[in-house]
Structure 1
């Protein structure tokens, strides 16, 4: 994804920060590190900037205390959750005239921005959308002990520290020496490669990625789009439109 940002969209390599949970990584994707990086990005943003956050990993649903509403959240490597409310507070600080795109390749992440409009999703799907069976996207909450037991079966390590077992369900992409990656991340990159000669809107990116995943993963993945009506048809990762003189 880093290469795509630089070669296709012209991002400055010095302005792309990579947090990855592998041995030898200089910056691990803990909750605190992710929040710090996002906060710095927003605080340094100016009018006309294009902000982008790509997350590939675990997601979950949580029910905060004293609330009947469930929140979507991503699960960093230290299990310090970042919720949809956290992202809403972050997005509210983006300066006027800048854009902020979040590509979250994770289960149960939904819109990941609290109170954002659903353009494409399990409940609002355009007429030409890929049909998703209603029983294929029923949200589920996974108990901690179940997650721990599953990870233990994969790693054969005896530890109650979830970080010791942390892994993720990836797809094997061996083309040109590439390593496993998230299914949605891979689908987006396939779509961009197949449409290298033209710009794609946010809506087109999601719809075409859904078609790729329909074939490659038998409808088990169904990415959604949450944004304003204006941004739904804006070009993916393009600078904000300048007002006419």
Structure 2
């Protein structure tokens, strides 16, 4: 009998409760997506790992725990498997560490303990995939465009879409960004070290659990950043690298719940279109939803040409009969 391919997921929602960075909709985002993965895309609930910071999950979304979960998912991947990572929380940009690139900014997500996970970490995960396995990352966070280092832009800053007037306003909105200066201030308060070098603080606090970007020499870092010929990374980002993403409250007429604007747009697109959609179609339609809501952010798609037109999460048409 032919072996069935695995569908594996890691879902991370960070609300940062009782802090000045508190958000409200991120945990709702991943709980909703968990149901969607099971009911629409055929994921086994036992193969979905959930990390949240509200005390309801058994594992907190620290930097080390998120990377451990992602490493475990990639380690068990085989050809044909479908891997999915959904992150909803704060994002940030940090100055590039590479000489000669003083104005370049690199992207990172901000776990609940501020142990940043960077674009280099995601590139390294994608590079470890066995040939034939796919890894889709949906990041509903600020500055998330380009979160897989060197992935090819399919829909992004150079992509032009038809302008649509906003028709459905939201009652609450907060950006999901923590400025680099605030990250540095927080880490400095923990280390007590007087330096603007973020690597020094992260290595002092997290040692071997810090991002590869801060632990590896530049020559070795270049090796980890390199692309594989059969690269299977797929990034759906909530916004462009120079933009912010919104944490919002949907209007009462559409449910009145706190959520990430991009995560909510994805759910709206999937509910409206029951048949399988390509990755390109999902991002394009999500852009339309956000524009109609008057939300100024532009979701992006980064992947190779083949995956741009591949079906989002390899949905099978036969599954629609059970919806």
TM-score w.r.t. the length of structure 2 is 0.60
Structure 2 spans left out of the alignment, 5+ residues: 1-32, 165-176, 191-244, 317-323
Match of 1:18 among 21, 26, 50: 50
Determine the structure 2 residue equivalent to 1:182.
260
Moved more, 64-73 or 205-214: 64-73
Match of 1:230 among 306, 313, 320: 306
Match of 2:152 among 117, 122, 128: 117
TM superposition shift of 1:60: 0.9
Determine the structure 1 residue equivalent to 2:142.
107
Determine the structure 1 residue equivalent to 2:61.
29
Determine the structure 2 residue equivalent to 1:54.
86
SS for the counterpart of 1:41 is: helix
Match of 1:213 among 290, 295, 303: 290
TM superposition shift of 1:131: 4.7
Q: What are the Cα deviations for residues 111-168 of structure 1, in whole angstroms up to 9, with x where unaligned? A: 211111000001x215xx2459xxxxxx9954217997xxxxxxxxxxx67xxxxxx9
Determine the structure 2 residue equivalent to 1:164.
none
**Misfit runs of 4+, over 6 Å:** 145-148, 174-178
Q: What are the Cα deviations for residues 83-122 of structure 1, in whole angstroms up to 9, with x where unaligned? A: 1011001100011111110000011011211111000001
Distance 2:73 2:256 in 1: 28
Distance 2:120 2:273 in 1: 34
Structure in which a larger fraction of residues adopt strand: 2
Cα distance change of structure 1 residues 225 and 145 upon mapping to structure 2, 3 Å threshold: closer
Distance 2:96 2:155 in 1: 26
SS for the counterpart of 2:249 is: coil
Determine the structure 2 residue equivalent to 1:73.
108
CA contact (8 A) 1:60 1:141 kept: yes
Aligned-residue Cα RMSD (Å) equals: 2.8
SS for the counterpart of 1:11 is: coil
TM superposition shift of 1:171: 2.0
Distance 2:97 2:146 in 1: 21
CA contact (8 A) 1:50 1:239 kept: no
TM-score w.r.t. the length of structure 1 is 0.78
Distance 2:131 2:184 in 1: 44
Distance 1:140 1:28 in 2: 20
Determine the structure 2 residue equivalent to 1:8.
40
CA contact (8 A) 2:276 2:315 kept: no
Match of 2:277 among 165, 183, 200: 200
Distance 1:179 1:229 in 2: 36
